[in-house]
């Protein structure tokens, strides 16, 4: 039942009490809305009960194993929520440090930003970071704009950005929105980007090459350095999509490989909660040559040990966010990095990779591997074998729901037919993975012995499969009075 | 401290299953030459140590000031029940509801959020959220450009300069022609505006209340804009919509704005909430996720992500936007906040903001040498002209315990003596009077 | 699955990090436990997931209508949780104000205690309160001890305490534990305490009469004043069990009736959460004649406007709690009272009584009323009519569970056969009560048409009805390695 | 602000159904004469006003001091996940799990709590919680009196005086004979003790570590006590059981204690957690609720409240105790806290407490005129003898930012110069050294 359908005229869930100033004349009617918005009127209890019960209809990391590939659904430490809730952080107005004499009012938050940037530089091997991008895709857009600014500054006019066909949709999309045309490189039979085609496409008018490393197949390309050098040879820049950085912590740094621009997803690698779709944070790191183009403001440490906002970067691309990024998210990631520390970050990468390979090893006899290779933080299977019996990746996903598992990412990457992309993350125990694997094996068996059972799933949820076609054909996108 | 459950035995058994001798072997695809040249991260700490350290840092921020700074981002009260709901694990540790059967709670909540945004703005459809008010405005502008196939954007200089700057940044590599309309007596100059609108115009962008706090009725502008087949885009402040004429009522095609005022903490600039609602004809141009209602195989009502063919994960370089992760948890905050207030509560909230600002105006108007700008009505923010440079005044007021407003000189040439003052429902009469008294002292010396 | 069964040797959910002082020699073995306690070893995620999923197995006020009679399961406002969590309150060591010069360290908390006591005095019409009792029953014990001290001080030796047969079990139990013998007065056919029998039992050696008002049948006894006067005539004191005060707020004060000792349940009337069984708080108020016997310490306001702890009450019964009571609970109740204020408290009583009478009116044709009278905050039915078809109060309760309702209190008060005690509280809406009533009516119908269906309930829960006999006959009270 | 959903129409409709004209009519059973003689409660406020006011009050408490005060109530770190779990609505807004089918989460959690208490104390059965350590000790004493039919209680003066005072209060109207055993060199005097134990003795009550922080092995006492058919009762500090010999190992019949140290905030004295565990022979004498495992009609394992025939709601005046509401949510805190630490974490916690206290001892021993009492080993608390009245020293130390300990003179005659100092895992080496340095300064002048 919609909260609007629980509305009762005259009910109040919250009151601001009596106005403590003498009321002046009302605003002229011509400026006022004709009718009040039709908003639901409920008691506080009924609002709390409504949303509490809604929450109980969701799977989540705290309640279910959530091996959603490419999303790194690791445990979100509770203490980071507490830290982000400290009044000193949560109640600070972002404009305070921009007031003359206001710098002193935000030293704590400015220090967080400054120190977080330093840590991310060291983790990735980049020269500087902007923490402003509010998600990975926003980081991509920012990164591509930096690339454009770089080339413009060099006076070179380039119109293409290269992405492999395995790339995440945001990559080509971000490239386009920043004003570039996209060249797509196919993936070879060996699971790596086709180097012949790559060389062919890598013309002098290519501005940058966007890669995910390890790529979206969960594979680390041993030729990554060659690929990078080739691009640099034609004056193109290398963009690193850091969505999969979890596998690389302390193992390999994009900066050392030669990437020029890097975005991170703090809500993946650094354990900030995904919040049902966001907020995230997508800081962008750059190599020395691109630092001068970073968005303003930037946080600097002054000689007297105080922190300040600096706007004086004539070549900066300008503002990409209203302020300093999703501070609350950055703060949680910063706390997480401090807690884990060097050894903890390295261990996270190692165990994430161990879990994924273990999963892959245990399932490879039952499902077709997209490419039979050692994987990094995630493994990608294809349900083609099951499709022979009419059981699709989607069916497998739905059956997993009945068993209390959030399904893996399905149908991505697009180059893998019937893809099942499994990312266990390092915070899940062997027991959890074993139980999940057993369920997957049971499904493989059922696909042969009783496919209908799988295709009927889910049967244990409040609702069965939904009619998505109808949703798109006859859009019902909001409640109407 | 790390969050890894693996024991030595676990690791040994798992390596055997995989068929490798060591964890290092799993990383053997990484060429030696690419091993990190350095990785100087401090060693791990305990939860107590980190919590303590960051608590001490938080104390280095001063949130004790009585706040009159707004400029598009406001110090509103957040009911405790809003925090209680968003801290439900099943909300904040879930991700995008790609799998509807195990995400109905999220999907319905977003559907309700979309409905609330439509109700507030008076438009037909809303998406599931965008990053913030600035990126939302950028997306709206791009929609207009795609929709009209034109590239001239007329933007009022009453639009928050932060947002205008963002638009210029995002389009620096695109061919978009901007025309800025001056603000006269705090309001958008109709003369100028009407001169500029033509059949090359993709959209006109206006803000209400504008950056100076001035309320306007843009109905006339919108009809003029529509005559030339251009779109009208409004950037609005949701709390004000408890009182003010809606974008829908004025005929706007697209409304966007910053949702921070709807139960989201100031949190030093983010995470915030970009919202967008449009006329239904524009829905397939809309960026971001959208939740729709449908039925399951038993005909039972349910909710799903829909119209995904607009999105990057399907359309890739042809998508309407590159957005993937959005600000769902902030959208949930807004939904809970508005549901809690309800129709009457939101009205009351708007009323308190309006009345307290009016009260502050009256008090300030009595101050020697202070001129309260009253050429047009305002909502909860207004500008005053000081006898001297506002920066210094602000500085002196800080020492007296007040963040007394935003000095307009920072954004507008020739306005060094202007101060933008926001008064929300949190400011008590006592605080306002103390504030005025302190300002008097400051100006006296 | 028990958390112990999820144990994995060597796993860590929490670490205190490295010891930052030089370790000295270990404690001699003779003082040390031979073997470490067998405690479960899990990761933080697995602990969080375990308890989060356990929580999802409970009904609660935030998720279900919870008309548990006599427990006043009203909405627990969220803001009181926030207030109790303020560091200044939650991290204060109770001994600080007892240090010399320490009084200044706890002025905030002492003010809360002082002001809360004043408010409770005004609400009940009593002269003073001790906030120390940690629950209602603890308040009863404290109250009876005060009564004993009073009589001892007067030199009168009395050995009996009178309770009606409708009283809550804690009343006679508290009386006994305080050293008294209990006389039980039957309830008359009219639902009121049998006054003839009362007069007979009200001998000179009766120390006190313990009454609940409105009583556990939800009925206000119009003769309450006479009853009180009779007791006073023989020198007995009147004890008021305040569990049902919710109906009386601003309507009638025990002090005005002439009660000498009163306990309140802050977790009922003043909306502090029941926490799955506690903590609660059971402050005890007394009339002027008993103030000098109250437990120490007591909070006083000094001439200089500061608050202090006073121990100088020679006739005090002493310590009944280690400190000042369940401060965190008292604080929430204080916040609640400030928020509601005079008009809010009165309104709470009015609507609580309205809801109960509405419920009673709608159900009286379907279930036997224990006593057909206007009720106060709760109404008591008997399932005897349904028992004719073999459907007992217990069965009705279980069927309600299937429908998403927490059952009413059943089989209490003991004097009502097959009792169903329904207390909706004022925070529940008419819609909620209507839906509940419809379900109750449906059950009444099913009891006739299809009793088996009711007797099989619940069928929608993770478990069916449990074997309580086996639980008591073969006690399995803790996990064993 | 009130939380009432009723609209005027609701009330009108409901009154009609009931068949009365007004709400007042519903209260007509209350005689006019009994209407309140006054009801002067301030008018209601908004959530913002109350939250603000109480936040300001909270700032009037100083929690900024570095804390070395224990005396039975300790400043331990509470992991954030403990707070997260107990703030789950389904835990804290539920009540006693009388209806097992819709309370399995609570019932299992309590069963796990009971199991944890048994593991910590080395005894067979635990109840679901009691109010606090003092009332738990009183209940234990009453158990012994019922069980033995005797009324002589021998209690060591090393038992927290707060608890002894509580026992005396509770029994003032009962015929219980108390004998106090003096503490010699910080430990219970065996000579005295053995002299007093006889066949009239119901129980001997001891505390470990005792109030002075001294650790003892009471094995000898217990066997002596048992010779005379009396019960041995231990009051213990759960964190210390990560290291110390358990009551079970020493042969005690009943263990009780204050569970505050297991993840429960100091919160100015409550709510806390009284725990109790006993030998299985005593289970039917045990007070309070008990959860047991059983099976449902399908043979599936589940949990219920059991052995309720001990309890007041069934046995009334014959019940083993009058307790009804207990401290379930605090018990849940303890269960989550201990589960999170696990076997090794609890050991580590105990180890850190022990070592830091030992470190502090060594540092203090170097101070001119300070004598550290070392006659017996201690856990995380110990006594020092100062050259002058401890009260004044405490006062001066507060000015230096330290709550430096509890002056024993307050509880024990002739100990005016003694200070009881607690050092938990939260105290850093730096804090300890600063503390010692400050004490040095204070003693110097
Ligand atoms: C490989 C890859 N790149 C980019 C993104 C976009 O990141 P965000 O959702 O934070 O915008 C994702 C998110 O799933 C991803 O998996
Ligand atoms: C009438 C009555 N008296 C006393 C009590 C005991 O109160 P508590 O559970 O707080 O000890 C209750 C609790 O249910 C009750 O209903």
CA-to-CA distance for C466 and C472, rounded, in angstroms? 12
Q: Strands A261-264 and A206-212: what pairing?
A: unpaired
> Do the chains contact at D83 and A82, CB–CB below 8 Å?
yes
Tens digits of per-residue pLDDT, A184-225? Answer: 999 999 999 999 999 999 999 999 999 999 999 999 999 999
If asked whether residues D223 and D313 sit together in one domain, one would say: yes
Residues D353 and D234 in one domain: no
pLDDT at D309: 85
Residues B317 and B351 in one domain: no
Candidate of C66, C69, C73, C137 to mutate for ligand 2, largest count of ligand atoms within 8 Å of Cβ: C137
CB within 8 Å: A10 and D83: no
Q: How many helices (H) and strands (E) does chain A have?
A: 16, 13
Half-sphere exposure of C208 toward its Cβ, with a 13 Å CA cutoff? 31
Q: Does C36 touch chain D (CB under 8 A)?
A: yes
Compute the distance between CA of residue B306 and CA of residue B89 in angstroms, rounded to an integer: 25
> Which of B337, B356, B383 lies at the terminal end of a domain, its last residue?
B337
- pLDDT, averaged across chain B: 96
User: C265: part of which helix (H) or strand (E)?
Assistant: none
Alpha helices in C125-183 (DSSP H): 136-154, 170-177
Over range D288-300, report the average pLDDT. Answer: 97
Q: Which residue has the tokens 């293409």?
A: A160
In three-state secondary structure terms, B301 is: strand
Q: Is the peptide bond before A419 cis (omega within 30 degrees of 0)?
A: no
The answer on B349 and B316 residing in a single domain is no
How many domains, chain D? 2
Q: Is the CB of C168 under 6 A from ligand 2?
A: yes
pLDDT category of residue C100 using cuts at 50, 70 and 90: confident
If one compares B258 and B1, the residue with the highest pLDDT of the two is B258
Average confidence (pLDDT) over D324-349: 98
> What number of H helices and E strands is found in chain B?
15, 17
**By three-state DSSP, how is residue A116 classified?**
helix
Residue of A nearest to C59 (CA): A53
- Answer whether D4 sits within 8 Å of A43, measured CB to CB: yes
Domain boundary (D316, D337, D358) is at D337
D102 lines ligand 2 (CB under 6 A): no
Contact A45 C52 (CB under 8 A): no
Q: Is residue D405 part of a domain?
A: yes
Task: Give the distance from residue B321's alpha carbon to the nearest chain A alpha carbon, in angstroms.
Answer: 7
User: What integer pLDDT is reported at residue A101 of this predicted model?
Assistant: 83
Q: Residue D445: pLDDT band by 50, 70, 90 thresholds?
A: confident
Which distant-in-sequence residues (6+ apart) come within 8 Å of C463 by Cβ? D100, D101, D104, D296, D298, D300, D302
Give the number of the ligand closest to the Cα of residue C143. 2
**Does residue B40 surpass a pLDDT of 90?**
yes
**Given D48, D87, D426, which is nearest B426 (Cβ)?**
D48
- D372 shares its domain with D260: no
Cα angle value D10/D16/D19 (rounded, 5°): 140
The pLDDT value given to residue C102: 86
Tens digit of each residue's pLDDT (9 = 90 or more) over B71-86: 999 999 999 999 999 9
Domain hosting D394: range is 66-76+343-444
Alpha carbon of C353 to ligand 2 centroid (Å): 19
Query: Which of C37, C56, C348 lies closest to D90 in CB terms?
Result: C56
- Per the listing, tokens 């007040």 go with B402
Tokens 């074993």 identify what position? A434
Among D274, D304, D337, give the residue marking a domain's end: D337
Distance of alpha carbon C209 from alpha carbon C186, whole angstroms = 14
Rounded distance between C-alpha atoms, residue B426 and residue B422, angstroms? 11
Residue D408 pLDDT more than 90? yes
Domain for residue B1, yes or no? no
For residue D187, the model assigns a pLDDT of 87
Residue B282 lies in a domain: yes
Output DSSP code: residue C407.
P
Write down the ipTM of this complex.
0.98
Q: Is the pLDDT of residue C369 over 90?
A: yes
Give how far A4 is from chain D: nearest CA, Å: 15
What would the mean pLDDT of D364-386 be, rounded to a whole number? Answer: 95
D17 falls within a domain: no
Residues D326, D363, single domain; the answer is no
Residues of chain D with pLDDT > 70, as a percent, come to 100
Establish whether the linkage from the previous residue to D242 is cis, with ω within 30° of 0.
no
Nearest to residue B120, comparing CAs of B319, B273, B285? B273
Per-residue pLDDT, averaged over B259-270, amounts to: 98
D272 & D350 share domain: no
Indicate if the pLDDT at residue C424 is higher than 80: yes
The CATH number given to whatever domain includes residue B354 is 3.90.1150.10
pLDDT the model gives residue B309 = 85
Rounded to the nearest angstrom, the distance between the alpha carbon of B69 and the centre of ligand 2 is: 51
Going by C-alpha positions, the residue among A175, A209, A186 that lies closest to residue B317 is A175
Answer whether residue B376 is part of any domain.
Answer: yes
- Inter-chain touch A49–C43, beta carbons under 8 Å: no
Q: Do residues D283 and D348 share a domain?
A: no
Give residue C134's pLDDT: 98
- Is the confidence at residue B432, as pLDDT, over 90? yes
Q: Are residues B300 and B184 in the same domain?
A: yes
A354 to B23: CB separation less than 8 angstroms, yes or no: yes
Instruction: Check C45 against B5: CB less than 8 A apart.
Output: yes
- Tokens 């020092």 belong to which residue? D384
Domain annotation covers residue B123 = yes
Q: CB contacts < 8 Å between B and D, how many?
A: 21
The pLDDT assigned to D63 comes to: 82
Beta strands in B118-164 (DSSP E): 125-126, 152-156
Give yes or no for residue D1 having a pLDDT over 80.
no
Provide the pLDDT for residue A358. 98
Same domain, B349 and B373: yes
- Contacts with B80 from chain D: Cβ below 8 Å: 47, 51
What is the rounded CA–CA span in Å between residue C35 and residue B311?
60
Work out the number of other CB atoms within 10 angstroms of the CB of residue A304.
6
pLDDT band at C431 (very low <50, low <70, confident <90, very high): very high
Domain shared by B88 and B156, yes or no: yes
| CATH number where B100 lies | 3.40.640.10
Torsion angles phi and psi, residue C279, rounded to 5: -75, 150
Q: How many angstroms separate the Cα of D242 from the Cα of each of C5, D126, D262?
A: 21, 18, 11
* DSSP element (H, E) containing A362: helix A327-363
Residues 318-377 of A with CB under 8 A from B: 318-329, 331, 334-335, 337-348, 350-351, 353-355, 357-358, 360-362, 374, 376
Q: Does the predicted model carry a pTM greater than 0.90?
A: yes
Are D198 and D320 contained in the same domain?
yes
pLDDT above 90 covers a percentage of chain B that reads: 93
C250 pLDDT tier (thresholds 50, 70, 90): very high
Check pLDDT > 80 for residue B1.
Answer: no
Q: Does A46 touch chain C (CB under 8 A)?
A: yes
Beta-sheet strands, E only, within D110-252: 125-126, 152-156, 177-181, 183-184, 187-188, 201-208, 231-236
- The bound ligand whose nearest atom lies closest to the alpha carbon of B312 is 1
Domain annotation covers residue B423:
yes
C-alpha C170 to ligand 2 mean position (Å): 7
In a domain, B61, yes or no: no
B161-206 pLDDT per residue, tens = 999 999 999 999 999 999 999 998 888 999 999 999 999 999 999 9
Q: How far does the centroid of ligand 1 lie from the alpha carbon of residue C177, in Å?
A: 66
| Residue A173: cis peptide before it, omega within 30 degrees of 0 | no
> What pLDDT score does D186 carry?
84
Q: Which of C45, C53, C429 sits opposite A43 (nearest CB)?
A: C429
The pLDDT of residue C276: 98
Q: Is A70 on the interface with B (CB under 8 A)?
A: no
C59: Cβ contacts below 8 Å, ≥ 6 apart: C66, C401, C404, C406, D90, D94, D99, D102, D103
pLDDT in tens, chain A (481 residues): 999 999 999 999 999 999 999 999 999 999 999 999 999 999 999 999 999 999 999 999 999 999 999 999 999 999 999 999 999 999 999 999 999 888 899 999 999 999 999 999 999 999 999 999 999 999 999 999 999 999 999 999 999 999 999 999 999 999 999 999 999 999 999 999 999 999 999 999 999 999 999 999 999 999 999 999 999 999 999 999 999 999 999 999 999 999 999 999 999 999 999 999 999 999 999 999 999 999 999 999 999 999 999 999 999 999 999 999 999 999 999 999 999 999 999 999 999 999 999 999 999 999 999 999 999 999 999 999 999 999 999 999 999 999 999 999 999 999 999 999 999 999 999 999 999 999 999 999 999 999 999 999 999 999 999 999 999 999 999 999 9
Decide: C97 in ligand 2 pocket, CB within 6 A: no
Of A32, A50, A28, A52, nearest to A41 (Cα)? A50
């Amino acid at each position: 039942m919609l909260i609007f359908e629980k509305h009762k005229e005259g009910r109040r869930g919250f009151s601001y009490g009596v106005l403590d100033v003498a009321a002046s004349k009302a605003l002229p009617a011509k400026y006022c809305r004709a009718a009040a918005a039709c908003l639901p009127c409920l008691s506080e209890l009924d609002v709390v009960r409504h949303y509490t019960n809604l929450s109980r209809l969701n799977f989540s990391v705290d309640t279910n194993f959530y091996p959603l590939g490419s999303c790194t659904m690791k445990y979100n430490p509770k203490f980071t929520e507490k830290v982000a809730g400290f009044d000193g952080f949560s109640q600070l107005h972002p404009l305070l440090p921009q007031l003359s004499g206001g710098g002193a009012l935000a030293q704590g938050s400015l220090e967080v930003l400054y120190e977080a940037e330093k840590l991310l530089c060291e983790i990735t091997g980049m020269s500087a970071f902007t923490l402003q991008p509010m998600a990975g895709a926003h980081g991509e857009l920012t990164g591509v704009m930096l690339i454009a600014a770089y080339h413009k500054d060099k006076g070179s006019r380039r119109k293409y950005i290269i992405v492999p066909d395995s790339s995440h949709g945001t990559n080509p999309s971000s490239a386009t929105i920043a004003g570039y045309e996209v060249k797509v490189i196919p993936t070879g039979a060996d699971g790596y980007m086709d180097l012949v085609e790559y060389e062919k496409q890598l013309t002098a008018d290519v501005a940058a090459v966007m890669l995910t490393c390890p790529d979206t197949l969960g594979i680390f390309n041993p030729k990554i350095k060659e690929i990078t050098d080739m691009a640099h040879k034609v004056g193109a820049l290398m963009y690193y999509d850091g969505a999969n950085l979890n596998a690389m912590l302390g193992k390999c740094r994009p900066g050392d490989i030669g990437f020029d621009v890097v975005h991170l997803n703090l809500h993946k690698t650094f354990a900030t909660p995904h919040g049902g779709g966001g907020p995230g944070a997508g800081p962008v790191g750059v190599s020395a040559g691109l630092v001068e183009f970073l968005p303003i403001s930037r946080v600097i440490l002054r000689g007297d040990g105080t922190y300040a906002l600096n706007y004086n970067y004539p070549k900066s691309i300008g503002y990409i966010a209203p302020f300093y990024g999703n501070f609350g998210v950055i703060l949680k990631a910063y706390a997480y990095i401090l807690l884990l520390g060097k050894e903890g970050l390295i261990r996270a990468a190692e165990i994430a990779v161990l879990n994924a390979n273990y999963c892959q090893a245990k399932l490879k006899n039952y499902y077709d591997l997209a490419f039979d290779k050692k994987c990094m933080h995630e493994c990608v299977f294809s349900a083609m074998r099951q499709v022979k019996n009419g059981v699709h990746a989607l069916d497998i996903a739905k059956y997993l729901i009945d068993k209390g598992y959030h399904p893996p990412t399905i149908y991505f990457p697009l180059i893998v037919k019937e893809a099942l992309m499994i990312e266990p993350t390092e915070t899940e125990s062997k027991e959890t993975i074993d139980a999940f694997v057993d369920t997957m094996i049971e499904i493989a068996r059922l696909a042969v012995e009783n496919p209908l059972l799988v295709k009927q799933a889910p049967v244990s949820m409040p609702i069965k499969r939904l009619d998505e076609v109808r949703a798109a054909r006859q859009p019902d996108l909001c409640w109407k009075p | 401290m790390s969050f890894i459950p693996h024991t030595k035995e676990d690791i040994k058994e798992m390596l055997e299953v995989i068929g490798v001798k060591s964890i290092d072997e799993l990383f053997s695809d990484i060429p030696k030459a690419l091993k990190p040249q350095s990785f100087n991260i401090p060693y791990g700490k305990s939860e107590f140590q980190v919590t303590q350290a960051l608590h001490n840092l938080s104390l280095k921020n001063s949130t004790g000031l009585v706040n009159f700074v707004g400029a598009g981002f406001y110090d509103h009260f957040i009911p405790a029940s809003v925090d209680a709901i968003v801290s439900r694990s099943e909300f904040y540790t879930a991700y995008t509801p790609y799998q509807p059967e195990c995400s109905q709670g999220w999907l319905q909540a977003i559907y309700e959020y979309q409905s609330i945004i439509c109700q507030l703005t008076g438009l037909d459809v809303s998406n599931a959220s965008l990053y913030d008010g600035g990126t939302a405005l950028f997306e709206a502008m791009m929609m207009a450009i795609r929709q009209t196939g034109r590239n001239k954007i007329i933007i009022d200089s009453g639009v928050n300069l932060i947002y205008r700057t963002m638009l210029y940044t995002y389009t620096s590599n695109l061919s978009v022609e901007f025309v800025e309309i001056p603000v006269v007596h705090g309001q958008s100059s109709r003369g100028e505006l009407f001169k500029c609108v033509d059949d090359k115009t993709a959209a006109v962008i206006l803000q209400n209340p504008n950056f100076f706090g001035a309320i306007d009725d843009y109905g006339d502008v919108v009809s003029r804009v529509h005559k030339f087949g251009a779109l009208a885009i409004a950037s609005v402040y949701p709390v004000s919509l408890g009182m003010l004429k809606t974008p829908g009522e004025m005929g706007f095609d697209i409304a966007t704005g910053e949702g921070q005022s709807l139960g989201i903490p100031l949190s030093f600039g983010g995470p915030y909430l970009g919202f967008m609602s449009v006329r239904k004809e524009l829905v397939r141009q809309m960026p971001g996720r959208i939740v729709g209602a449908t039925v399951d195989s038993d005909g039972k009502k349910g909710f799903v992500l829909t119209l995904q063919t607009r999105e990057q994960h399907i359309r890739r370089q042809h998508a309407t936007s590159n957005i993937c992760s959005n600000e769902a948890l902030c959208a949930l905050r807004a939904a809970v906040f508005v549901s809690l207030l309800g129709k009457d509560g939101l009205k009351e909230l708007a009323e308190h903001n309006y009345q307290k600002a009016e009260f502050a105006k009256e008090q300030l108007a009595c101050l020697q040498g202070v001129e309260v700008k009253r050429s047009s009505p305002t909502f909860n923010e207004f500008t005053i002209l000081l006898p001297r440079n506002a920066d210094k005044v602000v500085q002196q007021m800080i020492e007296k315990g007040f963040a007394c407003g935003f000095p307009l000189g920072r954004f507008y040439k020739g306005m060094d003596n202007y101060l933008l003052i926001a008064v929300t429902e949190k400011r008590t009469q006592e605080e306002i009077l103390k504030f005025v008294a302190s300002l008097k002292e400051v100006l006296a010396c």
